[in-house]
């Protein structure tokens, strides 16, 4: 009774009715729940290091919430047995052994008598710290950034500067083989999540002094490290400054990856095709850099983003140039035919079967009619259903671990297809068409381009269902025109084919390797290699 | 001004002019007049191309003297002179309608025999809207992409009919009446000169006047010759007495080939491939007309004008299709079927401010 009365009369609500959304700081959402995109507020750390160590300690404790945050290690010690000092590092990010061996041990052994307090940081750096990368700073934001990166900050009582030592020693994945860009010939190394390792992988290939790796913040509150890799003197300066300008506009709370950065700096939001090539192969990224492009590396992202790109890059594989010219041309042609089949074949079949049956020979028409005799779904619905099933099988195969993924592909492809035909859900002819489409789709090397092809495929299927070849013509022309109008960071998507530039090769035919020297033209590099 | 002209090179220019010249010559012709007294369509095509080139070269020469890159430089800025642009705009619109009308007739006669043309137009209109709104750069690049496929299909169509060619079918050649051939060529000017006229309207996008001249010249000559070759092949396939009343004879040639070789059932696919070329050339004309209109009458954005032009062109095609003789009948048809097409783009141009207020520039 008491409980009931209390429930009826109590002013506040019980905890179980607590709803997080009601505490939204921006108030009640509008009818369509749309708000203007919120810009992430980045509050820079103002101020400089205090002379008193206790004040710095208090600031660090408050800044890193050390009362609840056990990750931050605050290690007080006496420099030379006389001066109060503090080493601050992030547990797991900084290497304990390095701190003990190269900071604390020399700190205890050094003699600082007779050294002015103001000169202590410099003296300590020059005479005791046996580390290759140290830095003096008086800015608090630099100290905070360094600690979060895994470096160790040393603060000395009475000194106006802190010492930042490179003690980064976190665990990272070893360099492995590419998972999605497998090749038969060529190197087998892939990028990792460690940005330093990735830069090293590129530097091992590009052993030239004009190869620049420009480290900067990717923007946003998380201050993810980003590296712009380019060949100074080769890359178009206008392109470089434009990319930097766009990167400066990034302001987000999100964790940044190459794919997200691409979407934040691209021109055409609603274009299904990617405007930046994402590769996990250092050799491919290095080749792009040599062509006068820019490679983007992001901390925690095992891929490099290459920009600008053209449609030929989406249809190219890392080993194309390793093959002999005639064989390479055949492979390119097959890939192109696969891409066209993957995009147009289901729509063309639908158009012929639904609107222009006279274009099919009598034998084929009989086969189609016979195979569809017991199928209850209309042809267009059957096609869309099977295309959807194909995408389902593909997505399921991608998201599960290796061997199970292959098993899903086999189960989906063979058993499900056979069962669907036996159950009269789909016809064999449509199954063959979708299988051919799937094969063609896999011939496209780039995953983003494969997904874009699937998007266009469905669009064309709808158009073909509505108006047959007229629909395909109208939709196909629109798609081609939109692709022709698109540009990846100023480079037209169909370059060097439309607009035509001086180039070695073709969209369809691979050129001789001797002519590749002038292949940089679409990127309009500063130094053209004639 | 947002004219969306962009920049394009010689190959793109030549490709666009070639496609437009070929489809104008091969599909936009008036069969009744052309084959009335014999078979000289290929000669007419060549003469019309030469005439168009002479006009083009003359205009470019005048442009060089006046120091302009496009035809709007020749049209003065005064209100009276601006009216000079109106006949050019109308001519381009007419040129845009010709291949579309021809293809729509072909479609309703050979492909969708039960369908009304207005339904086909509904599919055509968004495509035209998009192409004209995307601008000259996109049109030229799309032409460059499509050209190899179109050329391949045309060459394949001409070669596939070799077995049916009979030289005696080109008889009689009305060479005895050269004046008549020149008259026919003159009347064919609207389709032979239209690609070059449209190029002159968007000449601002080329690298310079010489690039425009070179691209236009190459495209017109190549397009005219290919069209003449196709017409010659046509003349050897059908006697002129059949060609007088035959809609889309070039497609009929393909159908004849298919009848002999049932395994080659690609005639519809090829027809629609050609149709995409016709849409592209029509979009080019409409866009050029829109740019000229926008420049002459100071409309700051070309897109609403392009939308209006596309809507009007398609509406006029529909009106022509119904073959209405009287104004009342035309109005009735427009009210019944085409009001949707007209009512959409017109408010857009009305909403578009003619002049923007100048922003105060702070020092």
- Asked if A356 and A488 sit in the same domain, the reply is yes
Distance from CA of B284 to the nearest CA of A (A): 12
In a domain, A476, yes or no: yes
Q: Strand A225-231 to strand A277-279: parallel, antiparallel, or no bridges (unpaired)?
A: unpaired
Identify whether the C-beta of residue B215 lies closer than 8 Å to the C-beta of residue B17. yes
Chain B residues in contact with A333 by the CB 8 A cut-off are: none
- Which pLDDT value is given to residue A508? 65
In a domain, A171, yes or no: no
Q: Which of A361, A477, A481 lies at the smallest CB-CB distance from B263?
A: A361
**pLDDT higher than 70, residue B355:** no
* Percent of chain B scoring above 70 in pLDDT: 81
Is residue A513 within 8 angstroms of chain B, CB to CB?
no
- Which pLDDT value is given to residue B353? 44
Is residue A176 within 8 angstroms of chain B, CB to CB?
no
Please give the average per-residue pLDDT across B88-94, as a whole number. Answer: 84
Q: Higher model confidence: residue A430 or residue A11?
A: A430
Please give the average per-residue pLDDT across A43-61, as a whole number. Answer: 85
Q: Phi and psi for B97 in degrees, rounded to 5? A: -75, -30
3-state secondary structure chain B: CECCCCCCCHHHHHHHHHHHHHHHHHHCCCHHHHCCCCCCHHHHHHHHHHHHHHHHHHHHHHHHHHCCCCHHHCCCCCHHHHCCHHHHHHHHHHHHHHHHHHHHHHHHHHHCCCCCHHHHHHHHHHHHHHHHHHCHHHHHHHHHHHHHHHHHHHHHHHHHCHHHCCHHHHCCCHHHCHHHHHHHHHHCHHHHCHHHHHHHHCHHHCCCHHHHHHHHHHHHHHHHHHHHHHHHHHHHHCCHHHHCCCCCHHHHHHHHHHHHCCCCCCHHHHHHHHHHHHHHHHHHHHHHHHHHHHHHCCCCEHHHHHHHHHHHHHHHHHHHHHCCCCHHHHHHHHHHHHHHHHHCHHHHHHHCCCCCCCCCCCC
Chain A residues in contact with B116 by the CB 8 A cut-off are: none
**Cβ neighbours, 10 Å, residue B334:** 18
pLDDT tens-digit series, residues A341-396 = 999 999 999 999 999 888 888 888 888 888 888 888 899 999 999 999 888 888 88
pLDDT tens-digit series, residues B123-155 = 888 899 999 999 999 999 999 999 999 999 999
- Asked if A200 and A300 sit in the same domain, the reply is yes
Residue A298 is given by DSSP the state E
Please give the average per-residue pLDDT across A474-485, as a whole number. Answer: 94
- Asked if A298 and A327 sit in the same domain, the reply is no
Give the Å distances, CA to CA, from A202 to A179, A259, A291, A292. 18, 20, 14, 15
Buried b / exposed e along A334-367 (16+ C-beta atoms within 10 A): ebbebbebbbbbbbbbbbbbbbbeebbeeeeeee
Please give the Cα distance from A346 to A366 (Å, whole number): 19
Chain B residues in contact with A360 by the CB 8 A cut-off are: 265
Please give the average per-residue pLDDT across A71-89, as a whole number. Answer: 91
> CA A410: distance to chain centroid?
29
Q: Higher model confidence: residue A520 or residue B181?
A: B181
Closest CA to B199 of B98, B78, B52: B52
How many A/B residue pairs have CB atoms within 8 Å?
98
Task: Pull the structure tokens for residue A238.
Answer: 């206008």
Please give the Cα distance from A217 to A256 (Å, whole number): 11
Give the pLDDT band of residue A422 (cuts 50, 70, 90): confident
Give the pLDDT band of residue A26 (cuts 50, 70, 90): low
Is residue B20 within 8 angstroms of chain A, CB to CB?
no
Is residue B128 within 8 angstroms of chain A, CB to CB?
no
Please judge whether B145 and A482 are an interchain contact, meaning their C-beta atoms are less than 8 angstroms apart. no
Is residue A494 within 8 angstroms of chain B, CB to CB?
yes
- Asked if A212 and A112 sit in the same domain, the reply is no
Is residue B47 within 8 angstroms of chain A, CB to CB?
no
Residue A200 is given by DSSP the state H
Is residue A340 within 8 angstroms of chain B, CB to CB?
no
Please give the Cα distance from A493 to A510 (Å, whole number): 18
In a domain, A46, yes or no: no
Q: Strand A294-298 to strand A225-231: parallel, antiparallel, or no bridges (unpaired)?
A: antiparallel
In a domain, A356, yes or no: yes
Closest CA to B138 of A24, A482, A524: A482
In a domain, A387, yes or no: yes
Chain A residues in contact with B118 by the CB 8 A cut-off are: none
**pLDDT higher than 90, residue A202:** yes
- Asked if A350 and A485 sit in the same domain, the reply is yes
Chain A residues in contact with B265 by the CB 8 A cut-off are: 358-361
Please give the average per-residue pLDDT across A12-35, as a whole number. Answer: 60
**pLDDT higher than 80, residue A25:** no
Residue at token pair 């099977």: A386
Please judge whether B138 and A478 are an interchain contact, meaning their C-beta atoms are less than 8 angstroms apart. no
Number of domains in chain A: 3
Residue at token pair 């609603």: A270
Is residue A244 within 8 angstroms of chain B, CB to CB?
no
Chain A's closest residue to B110, CA to CA, is: A356
pLDDT tens-digit series, residues A497-506 = 888 776 655 5
Please give the Cα distance from B104 to B88 (Å, whole number): 25
Please give the Cα distance from B230 to B153 (Å, whole number): 12
- Asked if A358 and A289 sit in the same domain, the reply is no
Task: Pull the structure tokens for residue A264.
Answer: 């934040």
- Asked if A366 and A473 sit in the same domain, the reply is yes
Helix (H) or strand (E) segment spanning residue A2: helix A2-9
- Asked if A114 and A226 sit in the same domain, the reply is no
- Which pLDDT value is given to residue B131? 95
Give the pLDDT band of residue B174 (cuts 50, 70, 90): low
Please give the Cα distance from B230 to B220 (Å, whole number): 15
Please give the Cα distance from A210 to B176 (Å, whole number): 75
Chain B residues in contact with A361 by the CB 8 A cut-off are: 262-263, 265
Please give the Cα distance from B34 to B240 (Å, whole number): 9
Q: Higher model confidence: residue B23 or residue B354?
A: B23
Please give the Cα distance from A288 to A302 (Å, whole number): 17
Is residue B255 within 8 angstroms of chain A, CB to CB?
no
Does the pTM exceed 0.80? Answer: yes
Q: Higher model confidence: residue B207 or residue B328?
A: B207
* Percent of chain A scoring above 90 in pLDDT: 38
> CA B204: distance to chain centroid?
20
In a domain, A103, yes or no: yes
- Which pLDDT value is given to residue B64? 84
- Which pLDDT value is given to residue A396? 82
The per-residue pLDDT of chain B, averaged, comes to 81
The topology (CATH level 3) of B10-351 is Amino acid/polyamine transporter I (1.20.1740)
Please judge whether A473 and B138 are an interchain contact, meaning their C-beta atoms are less than 8 angstroms apart. no
Identify whether the C-beta of residue B333 lies closer than 8 Å to the C-beta of residue B324. yes
Please give the average per-residue pLDDT across A185-205, as a whole number. Answer: 90
Q: Would you call the peptide bond into A308 cis, given omega within 30 degrees of 0 as the criterion? A: yes
- Which pLDDT value is given to residue A519? 53
ipTM: 0.86
- Asked if A122 and A218 sit in the same domain, the reply is no
First to last CA, chain A: 93
- Asked if A331 and A285 sit in the same domain, the reply is no
Please give the Cα distance from A383 to A430 (Å, whole number): 6
Domain span including residue A145:
53-165
In a domain, A1, yes or no: no
- Asked if A298 and A400 sit in the same domain, the reply is no
CA-derived radius of gyration, chain B:
21
- Which pLDDT value is given to residue B252? 86
Last residue of a domain, one of A278, A309, A340: A309
Please give the average per-residue pLDDT across B192-201, as a whole number. Answer: 90
Distance from CA of B306 to the nearest CA of A (A): 16
Is residue B279 within 8 angstroms of chain A, CB to CB?
yes
In a domain, A488, yes or no: yes
Is residue A507 within 8 angstroms of chain B, CB to CB?
no
Q: Which of B9, B11, B262 lies at the smallest CB-CB distance from A361?
A: B262
Is residue B123 within 8 angstroms of chain A, CB to CB?
yes
Please judge whether A477 and B107 are an interchain contact, meaning their C-beta atoms are less than 8 angstroms apart. no
- Asked if A435 and A336 sit in the same domain, the reply is yes
pLDDT tens-digit series, residues B209-266 = 899 999 999 999 999 999 999 999 988 998 888 888 787 888 888 888 777 666 667 8
- Which pLDDT value is given to residue B362? 40
Please give the average per-residue pLDDT across A176-181, as a whole number. Answer: 84
**A72-A77-A79 Cα angle (round to 5):** 130
Please give the Cα distance from A30 to B26 (Å, whole number): 58
Please give the Cα distance from A281 to A267 (Å, whole number): 25
């Amino acid at each position: 009774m008491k409980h009931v009365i209390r429930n009826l009369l109590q002013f506040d609500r019980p905890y179980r009715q607590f709803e997080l959304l009601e505490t939204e700081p921006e108030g009640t959402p509008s009818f369509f729940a749309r708000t203007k995109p919120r810009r992430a507020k980045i509050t820079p750390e103002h101020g400089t290091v205090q002379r008193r160590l206790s004040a710095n300690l208090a600031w660090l404790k408050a800044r890193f919430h050390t009362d609840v945050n056990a990750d931050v290690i605050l290690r007080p010690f006496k420099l030379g047995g006389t001066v109060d000092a503090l080493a601050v590092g992030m547990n797991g990010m900084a290497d304990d052994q390095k701190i003990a061996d190269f900071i604390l041990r020399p700190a205890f052994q050094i003699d600082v008598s007779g050294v002015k307090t103001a000169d202590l940081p410099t003296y300590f750096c020059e005479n005791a710290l046996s580390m290759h990368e140290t830095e003096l700073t008086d800015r608090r934001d630099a100290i905070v950034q360094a600690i979060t990166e895994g470096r160790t900050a040393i603060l000395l009582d009475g000194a106006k500067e802190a010492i930042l030592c490179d003690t980064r020693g976190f665990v990272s994945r070893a360099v492995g083989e590419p998972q999605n860009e497998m090749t038969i010939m060529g190197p087998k190394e892939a990028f990792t999540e460690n940005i330093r390792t990735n830069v090293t992988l590129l530097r091992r290939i590009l052993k030239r002094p004009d190869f620049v790796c420009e480290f900067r913040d990717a923007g946003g509150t998380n201050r993810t490290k980003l590296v712009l890799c380019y060949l100074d003197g080769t890359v178009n300066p206008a392109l470089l400054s434009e990319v930097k300008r766009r990167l400066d506009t990034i302001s987000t709370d999100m964790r940044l990856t190459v794919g997200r950065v691409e979407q934040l700096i691209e021109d055409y939001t609603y274009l299904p095709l990617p405007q930046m090539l994402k590769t996990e192969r250092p050799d491919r990224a290095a080749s792009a850099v040599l062509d006068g492009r820019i490679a983007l590396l992001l901390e925690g992202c095992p891929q490099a983003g290459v920009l600008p790109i053209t449609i030929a890059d989406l249809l190219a594989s890392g080993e194309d140039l390793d093959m002999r010219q005639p064989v390479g041309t055949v492979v390119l042609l097959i890939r192109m035919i696969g891409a066209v089949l993957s995009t147009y074949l289901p729509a063309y079949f639908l158009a012929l079967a639904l609107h222009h049956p006279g274009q099919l020979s009598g034998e084929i028409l009989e086969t189609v009619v016979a195979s569809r005799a017991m199928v209850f779904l209309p042809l267009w619905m059957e096609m869309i259903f099977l295309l959807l099933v194909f995408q389902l099988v593909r997505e399921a195969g991608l998201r599960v671990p290796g061997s199970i993924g292959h098993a899903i592909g086999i189960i989906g492809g063979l058993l499900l297809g056979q069962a669907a035909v036996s159950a009269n859900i789909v016809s064999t002819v449509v199954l063959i068409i979708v299988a051919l489409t799937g094969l063609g789709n896999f011939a496209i090397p780039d995953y983003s381009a494969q997904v874009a092809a699937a998007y266009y495929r469905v669009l064309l299927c709808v158009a073909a269902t509505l108006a047959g070849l007229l629909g395909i013509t109208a939709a196909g022309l629109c798609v081609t025109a939109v692709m022709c109008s698109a540009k990846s960071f100023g480079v037209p998507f169909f370059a060097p084919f439309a607009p035509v530039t001086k180039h070695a090769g073709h969209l369809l035919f691979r050129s001789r390797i001797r002519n590749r020297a002038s292949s940089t033209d679409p990127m309009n590099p500063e130094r053209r290699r004639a | 001004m947002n004219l969306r002209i962009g920049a394009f090179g010689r190959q793109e220019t030549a490709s666009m002019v070639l496609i437009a010249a070929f489809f104008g010559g091969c599909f936009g012709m008036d069969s009744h007049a052309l084959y009335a007294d014999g078979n000289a369509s290929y000669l007419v095509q060549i003469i019309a191309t030469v005439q168009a080139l002479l006009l083009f070269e003359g205009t470019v020469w005048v442009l060089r003297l006046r120091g302009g890159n496009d035809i709007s430089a020749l049209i003065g800025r005064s209100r009276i002179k601006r009216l000079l642009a109106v006949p050019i705009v109308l001519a381009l619109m007419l040129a845009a309608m010709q291949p579309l009308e021809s293809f729509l007739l072909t479609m309703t006669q050979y492909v969708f025999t039960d369908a009304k043309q207005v339904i086909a137009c509904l599919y055509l209109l968004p495509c035209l809207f998009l192409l004209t709104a995307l601008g000259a750069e996109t049109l030229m690049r799309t032409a460059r992409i499509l050209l190899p496929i179109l050329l391949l299909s045309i060459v394949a169509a001409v070669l596939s009919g070799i077995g049916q060619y009979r030289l005696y079918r080109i008889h009689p050649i009305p060479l005895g009446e050269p004046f008549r051939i020149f008259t026919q060529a003159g009347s064919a000017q609207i389709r032979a000169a239209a690609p070059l006229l449209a190029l002159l309207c968007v000449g601002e996008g080329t690298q310079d006047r010489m690039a425009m001249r070179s691209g236009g010249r190459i495209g017109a000559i190549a397009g005219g010759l290919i069209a003449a070759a196709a017409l010659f092949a046509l003349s050897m396939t059908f006697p002129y007495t059949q060609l007088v009343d035959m809609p889309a004879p070039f497609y009929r040639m393909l159908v004849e080939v298919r009848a002999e070789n049932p395994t080659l059932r690609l005639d519809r696919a090829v027809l629609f491939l050609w149709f995409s070329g016709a849409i592209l050339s029509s979009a080019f004309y409409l866009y050029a007309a829109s740019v000229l209109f926008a420049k002459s009458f100071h409309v700051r954005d070309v897109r609403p004008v392009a939308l209006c032009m596309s809507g009007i062109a398609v509406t006029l095609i529909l009106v022509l299709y119904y073959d209405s003789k009287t104004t009342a009948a035309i109005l009735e048809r427009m009210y019944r079927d085409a009001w949707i097409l007209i009512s959409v783009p017109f408010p857009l141009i009305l909403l578009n401010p003619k002049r923007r207020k100048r922003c105060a520039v702070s020092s």
